[in-house]
Amino acid sequence: MFDKPQAEHSWLDPLLGNWLTEAECQMGPGEPTHHSTGETICRSMEGMWYLLEGYGEEPEGGRWSTLMCLGYDSKKSCYTGTFVGSMMTHLWLYSNGVVSEGTKLILDTEGPNYHGEGMTSYKDIVELIDDSHWVLTSEMLTEEGEWQHIMTSHYRRKT
């Protein structure tokens, strides 16, 4: 019943701590670019799950908060998790997450197609730059079958 953290869980350890956040999001060519700043706190649930709680505001005046939960599913041999944000109603479910090049965690998910009807595929990529900097990027699969970059968030260690 009680699973223990696996070696793969420790890949998430560098995310622990308090972070200053700078984000930029553009949902497509010609769409406005949204900038925001904030803070993120990452804590571990006994090395099994990592909770990243963020909050901040856009210069246009909108406050936001987010909660990301990441872990490793040893039965499925992949990283998994969830993401929710105060700026959206969709619960994002991460699946099939794999570490690439030793520094990138690539997480698959599905969400609303902001350029049309229905749902589409997304990728969220956590990239470890160094001990005091990591980056989260998001890509959306277009109707043409191409991955479109839509968001970049830089996290710089506060403490």
For the chain, the domain total comes to 1
* CATH code for the domain in which residue 148 is found: 2.40.128.20
Q: Is residue 29 part of a domain?
A: no
**Residue 5 located in a structural domain:** no
The average pLDDT across 76-95 equals 95
Span 139-152, average pLDDT: 93
Does residue 11 belong to any structural domain of this protein? no
CA neighbor of 56 nearest in space, from 81, 32, 39, 43:
39
Q: Does the structure show a pLDDT above 80 at 29?
A: no
In a domain, 10, yes or no: no
- pLDDT score at 115: 77
Is position 65 within any domain? yes
77 in a structural domain: yes
- Domain assignment present for residue 104? The answer is yes
- 128-142 tens-digit pLDDT: 999 999 999 999 998
Confidence grade of residue 87 (pLDDT, cut at 50, 70, 90): confident
